[in-house]
Structure 1
Amino acid sequence: MTYPQLPDLFDPVAWWSTVDGTRTAIIDSATARRYSYREVDRDADRWHALLARQRVQVGDRVGILAQNRYDFIPMFFGCIRLGAILVPLNWRLSGVELARVLGDAEPDVVFCEDASRALLEESLAHVDGGAAPRVFDLDHDVPTMQRAVADEVAPRCPDRSQDDTTMLLYTSGSTGVPKGVMLPHRQLLWNAMATTIGWRLGADDIGPAATPFFHTGGWHVFTTTLLSRGGAIVLMGAFEPAAYLDVLDRYGVTVTFGVPTQFAMMRDCAGWGRSLPKLRWFFSGGAPCPQGTKDLVRAAGYGFREGYGLTECGPNCFATNEQTAFEKDGSTGWPIPFLQMRLRADDGSLAGTDDIGELELRGPQMFSGYFRSPDKTADVMTADGWLRTGDLASRDAEGVHRIRGRRKEMFISGGENVFPGEVEAVLLDCPGVIEAIVIGVPDVRWGEVGCALIVRRDAALDEGKVTSEARLRLAGYKVPKRVVFVDAIPRLGSGKIDRRAAAMLIAEC
């Protein structure tokens, strides 16, 4: 697919450094240190020179294994200026899982922090074949390396294309086969333009980098988006609800993003409901948000919107407003600028108004494929350049979209389609339920029925209470026919639910 080309690649850090270099770009909440655009630009040049001295070439992969820290930002822009590709590595993976990513990406160098060194060494021991990457410590090696190049002039930036890859982000899956999503320059740029238009973000906005940088959410929901506009980003560490609310207040965060589990944790902490006068809205994504959680956020006086995105496209795919987000609760709004959408029915036709179909996307904020996997890329792309997301959605007469769940998770019970996401949202509103997932299992009479895997607060919650609550809000065929209580929901190394393991757990119970 050919997309519009801009005359030159836009480096927002360099541009803002020139035009208004004293503006705050990054705030490190752990140290309260503020970095101006001029400082980030200077440090990006140092990373550019440092990597060049280490013989990193155009197209080489540069790995980093660390929790969110300032180094990520100038390192990324240093890689862009050199023409290298940043590979943020997932520190939540096991050594074996991380080895698969390293074996696929084949980074030339890897930078890690002390806390991740043992994991990196374990994973490298499991990598089969290929040259081992050179490893440098961010806390001990890098300061010396940066001082050595402090006075050097960074090499000239190579000629680059809008389709050149800037970053590899690896998506998780239960098959054990990693997929490296290639994010080109155009995806970052067009996502930033579309988001700042659709979400009305500007130079005075302050947003968090609270999601780990091995996720697209950490980079491209707010970080690259606000840096393109001269806004500021607050770096945050591991999520702790009271501390998170403190940071929002202390630094005057204007927009923020979280997953439903985080909202549930925040509503139970002492600081919930405090005045956050600068905050315009909370933005929820990653999973359906339970109605009770949304109601509590709004009751506390906070703005609330839901969104949708994926690593392969966007990741910010919809825009809405406060009125529509409330009046059409659970909707994600309209397609963000420059992004086309269509809904494909099971028979291949386009889904009609209010009908459910697979969401397909096309636009310049699209990935350029899976790294070294043309077959996997072809599996998700149509002949005319549309991305098959695998997600189900509907669109009403006003063009407002609503996400309905994953196609592969849907099951048919007695001839009726059941979407687990809808059922899970209801179960999560049942008193005493902490976490819940629903999986379709074979049934002699109905073909398939739902089985719920639930983490509960205490043993007083039983199957009868769960199903009776569910019947108040769901059609009978949607109510799970079986409930299994567990201590924890199986998860992948990325933190996403491992539905294959969950199905095996149900079969064993």
Structure 2
Amino acid sequence: MNAVPNFPRRPDPLRFWRRLAGERHALVDRARGERLTYPELDAAADRWAALLRAQGIGRGDIVATLAGNRSEMAAAFFACGRIGAALLPLNWRLAAPELAPILDDARPRLVLGEDRFRARAEDALRGIGEARWIDLDAAAPALLARGGPSAGDVEVDAEDPWLVLYTSGSTGRPKGAILPHRQIFYNAVATTTAWELGAGDVAPVSTPFFHTGGWNVFATPLWFRGGKVVLFDQFDADSYMQGIRDEGITVALTVPTMLLMLMEGREWGSPLPSLRTFMSGGAPLPAALAERVRAAGYRLREGYGLTECGPNCFAMPADQAVRRPGVVGWPVPMLEMRVEREDGTEAAPGEPGELLLRGPQVFAGYLRNPEKTAEAFTEDGWLRTGDLAAREADGAFRICGRRKEMFISGGENVFPGEVEAALADCPGVAEVVVVGVRDERWGEVGRAFIVPRGETRLTEVDVVTHARARLAGYKVPRSVVFLPEIPRLGSGKPDRRALAEARP
């Protein structure tokens, strides 16, 4: 969407830092005890580029992964960039019926994965293309040692895809957001500038690599800047706090649910001398939770972003974050913002409206979906976020809520339409509406309101069991309410607000 003249043809930071960083660590894989310097990560990316070329992967191809956070994911990411391919990290939490439409849409030529996910991948791939599977533990080491055709890095265009990350819409149909080299590069420049990150900074990645947060909140910005990234394969409160101390972590991304879990751990409140601040993102941060974090002696700042832009869109000084709860700050460099009323006019200061974004950090559109891509942008090129915001008198922004019906559970986006579609064929269900309701631990969780069919003796266990067979765990409703009929608006649509506010 944004042509960038004179964009660097080979925007790979490892090629620079392998010479200047020496023995400085680029990547630490805590689960596997690996510590890779910049030259070592650069060499690993070259080996993976050779492996991919030997498998016939080239410019314009998509390589999927089905694996946790591990060093091979980073090496494959840079390898894809060097040969002009795009990396598609698949959500390993999804069931096979949820993965199938993503794979059918993306048509990757290769899937790199862990054996624990292979059966699920094979079920999802049945009848879809001819994607080959390479096991990261059983097969990849020998293939990497064998080598393959070597060649120089290809020249890329600004709009060439580097990552494809799938998100779902309100209808539940998955959409592949294309993150081109341009977006990843300019997000790194804006983030390290606005957040004052340098080569001495160290950040953890405990959010999964199938999220933009895993890649683009701290990892890719720090690799462009020469910093260190620490991988956690899964989040455990005490191990996370211990990792912050062991690795000298300076900035740490969390979602509100993670902060709650940290507070319940044994290590909460212990000194973290290297840590400048926790960053909270992925879901609204309750003011009371922020106060508890600061009361324990830690600094905390709130961020905002989305897969389709950034994802780091605002900057806020730590001292002002304390004085102005709920304010996420000012736009990062190169990113324009507009708050728009429903009639398309610009909202006045303090007036909520839809947040629109424009700049080189905006994505390139949805894979093979020109209709949804067109819907995402205004005629003059602004990205519609679907989120409500208000601009303060001094130009800082406050996020007010979401226009769409989506809710966020533990940092994961949940779309009611997708859950409703999965429950619609549950035996005995005549009608179902799912809404998000507040939850102390997860922020929001799903509640299903169901009208049973006829005299069916349907139970909550029946509904939850049906959902678990078809949906990732975080999408499964935590409660079920049976109603004789669904309350409706004058238009005939379900009154979701009334349902969300109703007592179970």
**Pairwise CA distance, 1:33:** 2.3
Deviates more, 1:32-41 or 1:387-396: 32-41
Verify the 8 A CA contact 2:188 2:222 in the aligned structure 1.
yes
Q: Does the 8 Å contact 1:84/1:166 carry over to 2?
A: yes
| Structure 2 residue aligned with 1:94 | 95
Report the counterpart of residue 311 of structure 2 in structure 1: 315
Q: CA deviation at 1:95?
A: 0.3
**Structure 1 residue 332 corresponds to structure 2 residue 328:** yes
Matched, 1:76 2:72: no
Asked whether the equivalents of residues 165 and 183 of structure 1 are also in contact (C-alpha less than 8 Å), the reply is yes
The CA deviation at 1:242 is 1.2
Kindly indicate whether residue 127 of structure 2 is the aligned counterpart of residue 137 of structure 1.
no
Aligned to 2:227: 231
What's the offset of the Cα at 1:254? 0.3
Partner of 1:434: none
Deviation at 1:156, TM superposition (A): 2.5
Corresponding position of 1:165: 161
- Give, as a single letter, the amino acid of the residue that structure 1 aligns with 2:223: L
SS at match of 2:337: strand
Q: Which amino acid aligns with 1:221?
A: V
Residues of 1 paired with 2:107 and 2:118: CA distance? Answer: 18
Count of paired positions = 444
Q: Tell me how far apart the structure 2 counterparts of residues 181 and 224 of structure 1 sit (CA, whole Å).
A: 17
Task: Provide the residue aligned with 1:116 in structure 2.
Answer: 117
Asked if residue 365 in structure 1 is aligned to residue 361 in structure 2, the reply is yes
Shift of 1:5: 3.5
Partner residue in 1 for 2:27: 26
In the alignment, structure 1 residue 218 sits paired with structure 2 residue 214? yes
Q: 1:502 to 1:348 in 2, by over 3 A?
A: farther
Q: Give me the identity figure in percent.
A: 46
Residue 261 of structure 2 corresponds to: 265
Unaligned stretches of 5+ residues in structure 2: 410-414, 417-434, 442-459, 487-503
Offset of residue 495 of structure 1? 6.8
- Aligned counterpart for 2:194 among listed residues 195, 198, 215: 198
Q: CA deviation at 1:4?
A: 4.7
**Structure 1 position 293, deviation (Å):** 1.1
After superposition, what is the alpha-carbon deviation per residue over 1:94-119, rounded to whole angstroms, capped at 9, x for unaligned? 10000111101100011111111121
CA contact (8 A) 1:3 1:363 kept: no
State the one-letter code of the partner of 1:33.
Answer: E
CA–CA separation in structure 2 for the residues paired with 1:505 and 1:20: 61
Structure 1 residue 155 displacement after superposition: 1.5
The counterpart of 2:287, out of the listed 276, 284, 291, is 291
CA contact (8 A) 2:28 2:36 kept: yes
Given the two structures, how large is their TM-score scaled by the length of structure 1? 0.81
Pairs within 5 Å for 1:416-455: 453=437
Instruction: Return the TM-score normalized by structure 2.
Output: 0.82
User: Residue 355 of structure 2 contacts residue 387 of structure 2 at CA under 8 Å; is this kept in 1?
Assistant: yes
Alpha carbons of structure 1 residues 389 and 505: separation in structure 2 relative to 1, 3 Å: farther
Question: What secondary structure is seen at the aligned counterpart in 2 of 1:64?
Answer: strand
**Which letter does structure 2 place at the counterpart of 1:145?**
L
Q: 2:270 is matched by which residue type in structure 1?
A: R
Secondary structure at 2:325 match in 1: coil
Report Cα offsets for 1:188-223 as digits up to 9, x if no partner. Answer: 000000000000000000001111000000000011
Give 1:505 deviation, angstroms: 7.0
RMSD: 3.0
Counterpart contact for 2:252–2:277, Cα < 8 Å: yes
User: Which piece of structure 1 moves more, 19-28 or 358-367?
Assistant: 19-28
Q: What SS is found at the alignment partner of 2:71?
A: coil
Note if 1:385 corresponds to 2:381. yes
- Paired residue secondary structure (1:389): strand
SS in 1 for 2:26: strand
**1:88, CA displacement in angstroms?**
0.5
SS in 2 for 1:271: coil
